[in-house]
Structure 1
Amino acid sequence: MKKTVLFLLVWASLPAWAQEDAWVFFNAKPESATYLSNPLSMLTQRSLDRRTAQGIAVDFLDVPVHQPYIDQVENATGIEVMAKSKWYNAVHVRGAQPQIAALSNLAFVDHIRYANPSLNVGDRVAPAYSNAQRVNKTFDTTVDFDYGESGNQIEMLNGHLLHQEDYTGAGKIIAVMDGGFPGVDTALPFERLRENGLILGGYDYVNRNPDFYTGISHGTLVLSTMGGYQEGELVGTAPDAGYYLYITEDGNNEGPLEESLWVEAAEEADRLGVDIITTSLGYSNFDNADYNHTYEEMDGVTAFISQGVNFAFSRGIVCVVSAGNSGNNDWYYITAPADATHALAVGAVDPEGDYVTFSSHGPSFDGRVKPDVSAQGRFAVVSNVLGDISTANGTSFACPIIAGMVASFWQAVPQMTNAQLVQYVKQSASIYNNPNDDIGYGIPNFADALEEALGTQVFPKQNVVALYPNPVGSDLHVRLPAMAQLTLYNSIGQQVLQQYIADKDVIGLGQLESGVYFYQLESNGFSQRGKLLKK
């Protein structure tokens, strides 16, 4: 009796990861010809239209995984299928290593890749990560919006100028991959989305449940930076875009399955015709240290989720990804999938446009510029699940702020491919010609990007004033309907500059110290005031 009890105690003390996670890749899709001859059997018309607009053909990647293969794997002894991917033509399985290995005897199995690299024949064994810690990947007519405190995070990008031109994301669809969206169905800042039918759907992949208004609140905060609307307090960067809300992040566990769930959700987003995926998640260390990524794996293609981003991009989708919040800890670098070759990775700056130290550093292991661009991630204005407006810190918020602006920008130039769009965003950034490992190419200027993309001057429109860039370095560009007087005040109200300017002018501000200034423009009874950040 004592022996039995001892055995039970030993068995119960075994780690939860005594079972292994692995991906089983198949060698065929027997029904490919049938699906490819009838694309609407696997993709919606909107998805096909997005492909057509960008010259992307339907191909083998679009064909679903052969269900009988999944069934046979699932019926194998001790094997649980956790997720599937048509892009990879694979399933994510969990089971004992010998039982997983036995799957290679199935005729349709091409190869098996274990989440633990030491089990993969020919793979480098990842060194144990010393002092490993879980990364905090979730924290730290003319429109005239009253942005309130949220104005800075939009005006920093000159996104308000696109809004003034009625480019507010209308007609574009964003998929949000996160850990939960409680309160989005009830809180006031999301009422505008609900009333206009802009919450298009979603799914909880973690629990395999259609209820996506659950889980951790991080996704709610993320969504608010794009789709939130509360006059005078919070206006998101894409308040008129449509949104799908997908839970792929397990708030209670950290494992490679989350990467597979992300890919599965991305495939569904592609099927539905989503234009943009925003992901404020990042993966480096897991509960089971054997599964940890290494910096060497941040090469754009190794991590399952990073290659998933590349697959999504190949379908015509723009993938905006937070760089990570590891700048102050041992990991230090960007996390997957920010390393993906085709991810638009976003770092964080403060309200003055300066790098904040928690933002993960680049470059990618293979030497590419990362993050790609940066936006406000310190004191970002958000809504919580109760609808209270507050601030939060993290690249988690810089990322969707950019994603919303990408939607508004793409609305203005719908003929563009995703690759062209991303390049215009990068080229508009503040240090494009001299990028660094902290903020990448810098802070994008979406007004400049739009003018460059259209090949003509868009701003100003009648009664629209444009001051850019903001934050400004040495030269402030001003465009307005007529000659005006510009007055600048410092943060304590002292006048530091006053001069008359033409309708298009460049004002030298190199003599001013860095900080917050307030401007006033006056012309023929017209007056406008605002805030200007000097770098």
Structure 2
Amino acid sequence: MKKITIGLLMLCSTLVFSQEDALVFFADKENVADALANPLTILTQDALDRKQLHGTPIDERDVPVTPSYVSEIKDQPGITVYAKSKWMNSVYVRGSQANIENLVNLSFVEEIEFLNDNLNFSPPISGTRDKFEIENNSQRVVYDYGLAANQVEMISADYLHEQDFTGAGIVVAVLDSGFPNVTSIPGFSDMINEGRLLGTYDFVLKQETLDNTSSHGTRVLSDMAAIDEGQLVGTAPGASYYLYRTEDTNSENPVEEAYWVEALERADSLGVYVTNTSLGYQDFDDASYDHDYSDLDGQTTIAARGANHAFDKGMLLVTSAGNDGNGFGFVATPADAPGVLTVGAVDGSENYASFSSYGPTSDGRIKPDVMAQGENAAVIGQFGDVFFNNGTSFASPIMAGAVASLWQARPQTTNAELMQIVREASSMFENPSNTMGYGIPNFEEALMMLQQLDTDEFLLENEFGVYPNPVQEYLTVSFPRNITSAELTLMNVLGERVLKTKVSNTNNRVEVSKLTSGVYIAAITSEGKTNSFKIIKK
């Protein structure tokens, strides 16, 4: 049975012809088996290489939406298609409520989800909030050498650069509101001249050029990609970049979330590792589309759903928490998604910036995840000038660039492993808060943790191991590759043997519950090789 999710059912005939927005979900896709059997028809080789490196599955979600379905939707009376999503197998449409409801009669339409649920309708008090209000309040001054030093050194991204990890070989997609003059600003000349600007696309106007758009994205990009000697160097000056416009600054409508998901899908198909999103969505021009707090559970909004698909596909999404700390308060979407590394803002002294949106999400998770400098952050503007801006919009790219540089050190690391390392390397990991999340990361510490993964993997492959330690009842022996049996001996501190037994890779548990509490030496011998461990018996 087909399901229709309709957020607003009105009896007033005068509203029947008003314009509504909705997601239209399709029942299936064509040629799925052929596409999966020949993945180069739907993904680039770079995308296949990244997915193979990380063990990311290629599945039906990677297959494009059936073009004939999209065409037939476009041909329906009064319907305009604005975006499509292969991950969700859907299109984003606008039309009258009646015309949208009629789409369910098409054989390939499975579900319709209106964006206007009107469950907690409350008209805006003073119009739609300008999400870039804080960022656009700029303090223009003349800067000396090391302008960006504080924001880079605060998270020890400079240590990564000293180790020659600048993001080289890592592809980053920046999803924003526009990137005017990027190809002519001197601070981006290294990226341009070295061919590391891989492509651009405007998902709002459906064109390659990004001219005559908001300068917000240019400033955001500078905190990652710029090299302006003596003025500002970003946190991933060696990475390669795709620039995508998904934000329409002329209006605020949930279609922008659909554009954003489209951009993620393109990024994934091109082999992107890291994305930066300095955008967030909570209130709209039409207040009936607003996301209330209960929607911000990381699973409900279009953006959150798309983010979780992107994370599942192997990308690491870095996203600003938002600038609503003194207003709505909580992080907007997609910052609420569990598949996103959400970044809040601190000032130059590492104190919480009051405008930074906070958590928890409505389902109780810690957000933001981490913090970076977003108050008086150095940026390059659309005319090449360097100045200070405020906003989590700049904390996010500072973090995203550091993540890209870190990933260069060990590209086989999965996105989930890398995200967790960044959290664990943060100043408040043991005691997170709703305003600061897990705190400010130290990327020198994160690099050491990342490199330890190689050591751990080597030991697992080539050495014996024992766990848990301390032990109470059973001691388990882990075997290196190609060894199937060994002898385990336990000695007490007096050098007396208290236990000797055979173990194998299929029978590797040894009961020690009857031993007295204390310290023991475990010796595991096989093929003339012995590994010794100090064991604590509880």
Q: TM-score, normalised by structure 1?
A: 0.79
Tell me, in whole angstroms, the C-alpha distance in 2 between the residues paired with 1:362 and 1:408. 27
Match of 2:172 in 1: 174
Which amino acid is the alignment partner of residue 55 of structure 1?
Answer: G
Shift of 1:456: 8.8
Shift of 1:369: 0.3
Which amino acid is the alignment partner of residue 103 of structure 1?
Answer: L
Map Cα deviations across residues 257-310 of structure 1 (whole Å, 9 max, x no partner): 100000011100111000011000000000011111101101001010111111
Aligned pair partner of 2:120 in 109, 126, 131: 126
Q: Confirm or deny: 8 A CA contact 1:170 1:241 kept in the other structure.
A: yes
Map Cα deviations across residues 313-335 of structure 1 (whole Å, 9 max, x no partner): 01100000000000011x11101
Match of 1:470 in 2: none
Is 1:66 matched with 2:71? no
Shift of 1:96: 0.5
Which amino acid is the alignment partner of residue 201 of structure 1?
Answer: G
Alignment of 1:345-364 (within 5 A): 345-364=342-361
Alignment of 1:523-534 (within 5 A): none
Aligned pair partner of 1:137 in 131, 136, 140: 131
CA-atom RMSD, angstroms? 1.8
Is 1:333 matched with 2:330? yes
Q: TM-score, normalised by structure 2?
A: 0.78
Mind listing any 5+ residue stretches in structure 1 that lack a counterpart? 1-13, 119-124, 141-145, 459-535
Map Cα deviations across residues 232-256 of structure 1 (whole Å, 9 max, x no partner): 1100000010000000000101001
Identity of matched residues, %: 48
Aligned pair in 2 of structure 1 residues 239, 378: CA closer, same or farther (>3 Å)?
same
Aligned pair in 2 of structure 1 residues 135, 335: CA closer, same or farther (>3 Å)?
farther
Match of 1:473 in 2: none
Tell me, in whole angstroms, the C-alpha distance in 2 between the residues paired with 1:29 and 1:81. 18
Map Cα deviations across residues 399-433 of structure 1 (whole Å, 9 max, x no partner): 00000000000001112000000000000000111
Tell me, in whole angstroms, the C-alpha distance in 1 between the residues paired with 2:31 and 2:447. 43
Shift of 1:209: 1.4
Aligned pair partner of 1:187 in 182, 185, 188: 185
Report SS of the residue matched to 1:36.
Answer: helix
Report SS of the residue matched to 2:148.
Answer: helix
Aligned pair partner of 2:440 in 428, 440, 443: 443
Alignment of 1:64-463 (within 5 A): 64-118=64-118, 125-128=119-122, 131=125, 133-138=127-132, 139-140=134-135, 148-329=146-327, 331-455=328-452
Aligned pair in 2 of structure 1 residues 136, 349: CA closer, same or farther (>3 Å)?
farther
Tell me, in whole angstroms, the C-alpha distance in 1 between the residues paired with 2:74 and 2:434. 45
Tell me, in whole angstroms, the C-alpha distance in 2 between the residues paired with 1:67 and 1:241. 34
Which amino acid is the alignment partner of residue 31 of structure 1?
Answer: N
Tell me, in whole angstroms, the C-alpha distance in 2 between the residues paired with 1:221 and 1:42. 33
Which amino acid is the alignment partner of residue 37 of structure 1?
Answer: A
Q: Confirm or deny: 8 A CA contact 1:333 1:361 kept in the other structure.
A: yes
Which amino acid is the alignment partner of residue 233 of structure 1?
Answer: Q
Which amino acid is the alignment partner of residue 67 of structure 2?
Answer: Q
Map Cα deviations across residues 94-129 of structure 1 (whole Å, 9 max, x no partner): 1111000000011111110001014xxxxxx13326
Alignment of 1:432-511 (within 5 A): 432-455=429-452
Map Cα deviations across residues 60-97 of structure 1 (whole Å, 9 max, x no partner): 10010011111111111111111100000000011111
Aligned pair in 2 of structure 1 residues 456, 258: CA closer, same or farther (>3 Å)?
closer
Tell me, in whole angstroms, the C-alpha distance in 2 between the residues paired with 1:214 and 1:226. 22
Match of 1:143 in 2: none
Which amino acid is the alignment partner of residue 74 of structure 1?
Answer: K
Tell me, in whole angstroms, the C-alpha distance in 1 between the residues paired with 2:277 and 2:432. 23
Which amino acid is the alignment partner of residue 99 of structure 1?
Answer: N
Aligned pair in 2 of structure 1 residues 456, 57: CA closer, same or farther (>3 Å)?
closer
Tell me, in whole angstroms, the C-alpha distance in 1 between the residues paired with 2:127 and 2:329. 12
Is 1:38 matched with 2:35? no
Q: Confirm or deny: 8 A CA contact 1:203 1:245 kept in the other structure.
A: yes
Q: Confirm or deny: 8 A CA contact 1:206 1:250 kept in the other structure.
A: yes
Q: Confirm or deny: 8 A CA contact 2:348 2:375 kept in the other structure.
A: yes
Shift of 1:196: 1.1
Which amino acid is the alignment partner of residue 223 of structure 1?
Answer: L
Report SS of the residue matched to 2:366.
Answer: coil
Tell me, in whole angstroms, the C-alpha distance in 1 between the residues paired with 2:218 and 2:145. 19
Shift of 1:457: 12
Shift of 1:137: 3.0
Give the count of matched residue pairs: 433
Which amino acid is the alignment partner of residue 29 of structure 2?
Answer: K
Map Cα deviations across residues 9-35 of structure 1 (whole Å, 9 max, x no partner): xxxxx99x9211101000100211111
Map Cα deviations across residues 38-72 of structure 1 (whole Å, 9 max, x no partner): 10000001111111111111101001001111111
Match of 1:513 in 2: none
Moved over 6 A (4+): none
Which amino acid is the alignment partner of residue 209 of structure 2?
Answer: D
Higher-Rg structure is 2
Tell me, in whole angstroms, the C-alpha distance in 2 between the residues paired with 1:192 and 1:338. 31
Which amino acid is the alignment partner of residue 221 of structure 1?
Answer: R
Report SS of the residue matched to 1:100.
Answer: helix
Q: Confirm or deny: 8 A CA contact 1:85 1:263 kept in the other structure.
A: yes
Q: Confirm or deny: 8 A CA contact 1:23 1:90 kept in the other structure.
A: yes
Map Cα deviations across residues 486-512 of structure 1 (whole Å, 9 max, x no partner): xxxxxxxxxxxxxxxxxxxxxxxxxxx
Aligned pair in 2 of structure 1 residues 457, 151: CA closer, same or farther (>3 Å)?
farther
Tell me, in whole angstroms, the C-alpha distance in 1 between the residues paired with 2:448 and 2:386. 33
Map Cα deviations across residues 320-356 of structure 1 (whole Å, 9 max, x no partner): 0000000011x11101000011110000000010001
Shift of 1:136: 3.9
Tell me, in whole angstroms, the C-alpha distance in 2 between the residues paired with 1:147 and 1:334. 35
Tell me, in whole angstroms, the C-alpha distance in 2 between the residues paired with 1:147 and 1:168. 20
Shift of 1:134: 3.1
Q: Confirm or deny: 8 A CA contact 1:255 1:287 kept in the other structure.
A: yes
Q: Confirm or deny: 8 A CA contact 1:133 1:285 kept in the other structure.
A: no
Q: Confirm or deny: 8 A CA contact 1:373 1:429 kept in the other structure.
A: yes
Q: Confirm or deny: 8 A CA contact 1:137 1:396 kept in the other structure.
A: no
Q: Confirm or deny: 8 A CA contact 1:172 1:407 kept in the other structure.
A: yes
Map Cα deviations across residues 120-173 of structure 1 (whole Å, 9 max, x no partner): xxxxx1332663653443343xxxxx9611011010001101100000000001
Shift of 1:188: 1.2
